[in-house]
Structure 1
Amino acid sequence: MQTYDSRNDVPEAEKWNLADIYTSVEKWEADYRKIEELTEELRSYDGKIENGNDLYHFLHKEEVVELLFKNVYVFARLSGDIDTRDTQAQSLLEKADQLGVKVNSATSFFTPFLLSLEKSTLERFIDEEPRLDYFKKDLLDAYRYKAHVLSKENEELLSRLGESLSSPIRTFGMINNADMTFGEVTDGEGKKVRLTRGMYSKLIEDEDRAKREEAYRAYYKPYVQLKNSIASTLSSAVKTNVTLSQLRNYPSALEKSLFGKKIPKDVYENLIKTAKENLAPMYCYTELRKETLGVTELRQYDLAVPLVKGVKEDISYEDAYETMLEALVPLGSDYINVLKEMKNSRYIDVRETPGKRSGAYNMGLYGTHPFVLLNHQDDLDSLFTLAHEMGHAMHSHYSNTHQPQITAGYTIFVAEVASTVNEVLLINYLLKNAKDKEYRKYLLNHFIDQFKGTFFTQVMFAEFEKKTHERAENGEPLNVDSFSEMYEALFQEYNGEALVLEEETKYGWARIPHFYRPFYVYQYATGFAAAIDIANKILSGDETTLRNYLEFLKSGSSDYPIELLKNAGVDLTRPEPVENALSLFGELIDEFSAL
């Protein structure tokens, strides 16, 4: 595996080209100042929108500011993420955050103003100014929020508090990425070295159980040490979300989260209910893992090691990219050609380096192109992560090139479909081309673990979020003990009694960044179920599904997400997609057990 002690050592071809956004910080600052000027112009419209012409000019200027701000913010964010210790980059991001608060404050008058209009007045404005047709859907849709918008003064007050209200997620991000120091592990030469996240992802899969346990303890050590600080941060995030939901007159924080996308509450609750009714295959797999590993007690550091030995392989980034391209051929030549261009044009930041943000993500930027962050480790997990993130990137590419700015962005609810379709196509390709029985068992094992992580673990997280928010809504305490009690009980329930819990298990909540984006993770599970349905139809040669799916990737937010998925052939208001996915999981367990 290729490792780098410095970002300067990474080949240019494997690093972002941020000059595609700004060629210098000076140009970034010029746009920053331009946004400040335009923001004051936007503020001047307060109380001055009297006809369709006024309304159009305000909305047009707001859209110009929105795109400029995204450029400013994304450049700062990407610059900071390549080295979270870089104080200059962090300063840019802090300035961008402050600017975002100013923009929100300057425009906070608009929604209360809009909802103070009679609907007939708004329709008259639209009739008298044809250019407002571009904004018509959003304008009329705003009336859904009438019961949840505060007075102009209160909306401005909340917008000014924006930076303070986002403090929990920023604080956890700095703890988790910049300040976190893991314990030590023993390297191949018997020396003690400081654990990194990249090392952990490898060591937790090591065949040597002692190495796995050592890595596990070293990884959890700082989270246990900082458990009180992180609990305070997470408690603040949950309580802030609950308070905002109450201020805006939503029945619950969950319903506030689902409202904007028109996701029925039943979709969330039925996902948890259906998953918990189908935990038997998970318990079977836990028992099978214990039996296969030959351990008297199955521990948490035994859950990631492959059950098939001797076939684990190194997969270089170059080989991973080529394998992904071959696996995604069913999506058509245009899809493949765009993927090749993304690699050649440096849309991807590939390698783990000191201080770099952990994990992986895609960030689409309208008018420019997507940017993908990886921490590639030359293994099968990294191959799947690559396919996953490039699915997001292709979704961004297609939506940004086929939709106007106003509908180009897509919601998280549909985002995970695009990424997971790629993963399902990849595993099918690998299984189809697996000539060796042991390698097929290895791949099945990998897909089962992936299924577990993307579906069951995310549903468990979703239930944890629901419980924590309900406790806050009921005025019950949220602290280390309550978080740990809830998390430990859920972890046991979802994994089965065959798993003996560690002391560290109960603190698993402390390491999850997604808990600072309320009610986000359930969409991994719904997206996974929808993706399995779509990918299997495409693999069966269903040309209609393929056409509908490619149109879905181009659709951005041109409709509500549930409707966009219905157009692609998946109805998540019904239980069948989730039940079908869980049925497949059972089949995978059966085949793996038989082999």
Structure 2
Amino acid sequence: MTMVEEQVPTREEVSAEDTWDISSLYADQAAWEADVERISNALLPALTSLQGTLANGPEALLAVFQAQEALGMVLEQIYVYASLRADEDTANQHYQALEERAAALSIKVSAATSWIEPELLALSDEQILGYISSLPALEHYRRALEEQIRLRQHTRSGEVEELLAQSGEISRGAQTTFNMFSDADLKFPPIEDEQGKPLEVTMGRYAVLLENPNQRIRRDTFMSIHRTYRQFRNMLAANYATNVRSNIFYAKARGYDSALDASLKPKEIPMSVYDNLISTVHEHLPKLHRYGAVRKRILGVNSLHAYDWFVPLNGAAPTKIDFEQGASLILSALEPLGAEYSSSLGHGLESRWVDRYENKNKRSGAYSWGCYTSQPFILMNYKNNLNSLFTLAHELGHSMHSLMTRKYQPYTYGHYTLFVAEVASTLNEALLAEYMLKTSDDPALRLQLVTQQIDDIRGTLLRQTLFAEFERETHRMVEHGEALTADNLSALYRRLIEQYYGPELVIDEELDIEWARIPHFYRSFYVYQYSTGISAALALADKILTEGAGAAENYVNFLRGGNSKSSIDLLKGAGVDMTTPDPIHRAMNRFGDLVTKLDELTA
């Protein structure tokens, strides 16, 4: 029996209580328009009027920072509102235009304020530090100013900075093209369900259809998606290559050694963290090969394909968990994190943080977002299954990280880096899995949970490291003068699949094109942080469950830290050192232990 409805509702057909409450940002578009006008007519002119004053003394610097913060908070709120509305229905031209207006306004502000860094860095290090010493109110900005000094060599003249800022709208073109093509324009051929009736295939349904016990349905779903992408392989290769070349252009313009260096250095992440991740995972790839053999045996299939990685292994129908049940389970599982965390999370679930279910043309996937002045917002496509339950726990981890950061940090440090972003989300998943294993006597569910943990590490650590290696290599190819074509991108991707998954996986030629449908490749050098994040999260979850309240408080303090310290130092304070390969080794050893447990449970 299929696990999805045959028809996807329109946005208007979805109950309001199942959607996020955008009115907490703006009551209506008129309020949004008022803030757009306020930026253009008041906040931006107020800030630009201060150009040329930074040499006048510490009071002038403080005035610029305060005006910049006032503008930034409003601009962020404008952009989030427009983007959330656009993602509700990617075919709604009105809200797509609204998002474009917000993006254009952001580019305008960026260009108009591009003078700040060059003018600040026209001052000597001694002058900047002297400003801080002479005006106590500037002590608040010490870390931000020291960061400016650290990155001084990568800041260009005011004229060049303005030009780079103005080019921002062009640089996001590849990502915009991919999103519109993938979410709004691309349609997949239907497949037949078990009764021979047509069944619509969408990216929102992709994961749940791959859980179907009928291998034919899994195969047909996989082929429907990937054969459709393959029809556009040359366009998608050209679009991705444009994105890579854009990254390299900005890296060269700012004097970085490479696009990867330009991504890591501003976040104070050593290059060794990225390279060590890949090399350490390579050491443990035989564990993934063994999992492929165990999964093939349990499924009883003659050959193991990419579409066989998600189906439950106990032969029973997947456990059904509706949204309300899932929320209750998550609240119970996260009680070890303390009273403040639990009460804030419960309030959020009752306050329409989550846009729950799929509707026509809704953006696929899931995310948590918001701004400094708002509640968190979660977009997902909940399917009443175990995978959706863990996705909800994952995104709630992001939301609680944002909530805690904004509560305890001023706007200057009220955001966290991408490097630590995935720690809070994957820790929630780890605590949920442990809780459910301890409280369930159902053998089928326990087997699903063991498989869930294995697949979580496979999907979040191993798969994302493969993606990270793909990104590193594609950027290296262009940096060494090699063109990116559909053929060499597919050849590179196939080579990595063969290396990571080993001899048990049959690689259908359709899998070669999978790189073309991965949206995270347009947020370059983002995915490796899933891998480092889950490694840190597994270590911290173990400390919380074994050491109790003290470890939990250290972790919650990490959530409160925002960007007040470097990501590496924040994690050290929580109890894990990501400059060493030890967390990666521990996570991969955990993976190996789980595979052994699975093998024993199903022997």
TM-score interval, normalised by the smaller of the two chains: over 0.9
Query: Are the equivalent residues in 2 in contact too, given 1:514–1:520 (CA < 8 A)?
Result: yes
- 2:369 counterpart (354, 363, 387): 363
Query: Are the equivalent residues in 1 in contact too, given 2:47–2:68 (CA < 8 A)?
Result: yes
Aligned: 1:12 with 2:16: yes
Paired residue type of 2:299: L
Which is worse superposed, 331-340 or 184-193? Answer: 184-193
Distance 2:304 2:74 in 1: 53
Aligned: 1:145 with 2:151: yes
Query: Are the equivalent residues in 2 in contact too, given 1:39–1:102 (CA < 8 A)?
Result: no
Q: How does 1:482-493 map to 2 (within 5 A)?
A: 482-493=488-499
Aligned: 1:31 with 2:35: yes
Residue 407 (structure 2) aligns with: 401
How far has the Cα of 1:152 moved from its partner? 1.2
Residue 339 (structure 2) aligns with: 333
Aligned-partner SS, 1:351: coil
Deviations 1:323-378 (A, max 9, x none): 11111111122222111111211111111000111111111321221111111011
Distance 2:147 2:418 in 1: 19
Aligned: 1:134 with 2:140: yes
Query: Are the equivalent residues in 2 in contact too, given 1:311–1:442 (CA < 8 A)?
Result: no
How far has the Cα of 1:541 moved from its partner? 3.5
Distance 2:112 2:500 in 1: 47
Q: How does 1:71-470 map to 2 (within 5 A)?
A: 71-470=77-476
Aligned: 1:534 with 2:549: no
Aligned: 1:48 with 2:53: yes
How far has the Cα of 1:131 moved from its partner? 2.6
Distance 2:198 2:561 in 1: 52
How far has the Cα of 1:188 moved from its partner? 4.7
How far has the Cα of 1:311 moved from its partner? 4.9
Aligned: 1:578 with 2:581: no
Distance 1:160 1:447 in 2: 45
Paired residue type of 1:593: D
How far has the Cα of 1:6 moved from its partner? 2.1
Residue 594 (structure 1) aligns with: 600
Distance 1:570 1:121 in 2: 37
Query: Are the equivalent residues in 1 in contact too, given 2:450–2:598 (CA < 8 A)?
Result: yes
Paired residue type of 1:210: R
Paired residue type of 2:301: V
Deviations 1:444-491 (A, max 9, x none): 112111210011000000000000010111011111011111101001
Which is worse superposed, 119-128 or 143-152? Answer: 119-128
How far has the Cα of 1:575 moved from its partner? 1.6
Aligned-partner SS, 2:199: strand
Distance 1:355 1:517 in 2: 22
Query: Are the equivalent residues in 2 in contact too, given 1:347–1:371 (CA < 8 A)?
Result: yes
How far has the Cα of 1:128 moved from its partner? 4.1
Paired residue type of 1:158: L
Query: Are the equivalent residues in 1 in contact too, given 2:263–2:525 (CA < 8 A)?
Result: yes
Could you tell me which runs of 5 or more consecutive residues in structure 1 were left unpaired when the two chains were aligned. Answer: none
Distance 2:94 2:548 in 1: 52
Deviations 1:16-48 (A, max 9, x none): 111111111111111101111222332232223
Query: Are the equivalent residues in 2 in contact too, given 1:108–1:152 (CA < 8 A)?
Result: yes
How far has the Cα of 1:267 moved from its partner? 0.7
Distance 1:560 1:226 in 2: 42
Could you tell me which runs of 5 or more consecutive residues in structure 2 were left unpaired when the two chains were aligned. Answer: none
Query: Are the equivalent residues in 2 in contact too, given 1:40–1:106 (CA < 8 A)?
Result: no
Which is worse superposed, 583-592 or 129-138? Answer: 129-138
How far has the Cα of 1:123 moved from its partner? 2.9
Query: Are the equivalent residues in 2 in contact too, given 1:84–1:357 (CA < 8 A)?
Result: yes
Please give the TM-score of this superposition, normalised by the length of structure 1: 0.98
Deviations 1:92-115 (A, max 9, x none): 111111111111111111111111
Please give the TM-score of this superposition, normalised by the length of structure 2: 0.96
How far has the Cα of 1:256 moved from its partner? 1.1
How far has the Cα of 1:442 moved from its partner? 2.1
Distance 2:299 2:85 in 1: 44
Which is worse superposed, 164-173 or 558-567? Answer: 164-173
Residue 513 (structure 1) aligns with: 519
Query: Are the equivalent residues in 1 in contact too, given 2:204–2:365 (CA < 8 A)?
Result: no
Query: Are the equivalent residues in 1 in contact too, given 2:365–2:381 (CA < 8 A)?
Result: yes
Deviations 1:373-393 (A, max 9, x none): 111011000000000000111
Percent of counterpart pairs with the same letter? 39
| RMSD value, Cα | 1.4
Query: Are the equivalent residues in 1 in contact too, given 2:143–2:564 (CA < 8 A)?
Result: no
Aligned-partner SS, 1:362: strand
Distance 1:413 1:123 in 2: 28
Q: How many residues align?
A: 595
Query: Are the equivalent residues in 2 in contact too, given 1:13–1:344 (CA < 8 A)?
Result: no
Distance 2:156 2:205 in 1: 49
Distance 2:345 2:143 in 1: 33
Aligned-partner SS, 2:380: strand
Aligned-partner SS, 2:151: helix
Distance 1:177 1:156 in 2: 32
Aligned-partner SS, 1:372: strand
Paired residue type of 2:28: S
Distance 1:311 1:432 in 2: 21
Query: Are the equivalent residues in 1 in contact too, given 2:9–2:358 (CA < 8 A)?
Result: no
Residue 73 (structure 2) aligns with: 67
Query: Are the equivalent residues in 1 in contact too, given 2:440–2:446 (CA < 8 A)?
Result: yes
Query: Are the equivalent residues in 2 in contact too, given 1:387–1:419 (CA < 8 A)?
Result: yes
- 1:480 counterpart (479, 486, 491): 486
Deviations 1:273-328 (A, max 9, x none): 00001111111111112222222222222222122111522111111111111111
Distance 1:194 1:112 in 2: 54
How far has the Cα of 1:10 moved from its partner? 2.2
How far has the Cα of 1:4 moved from its partner? 5.0
Which is worse superposed, 461-470 or 328-337? Answer: 328-337
Paired residue type of 1:313: T
Paired residue type of 1:41: A
Paired residue type of 2:313: L
How far has the Cα of 1:574 moved from its partner? 1.2
Distance 1:127 1:264 in 2: 30
Paired residue type of 2:31: K
Distance 1:330 1:170 in 2: 41
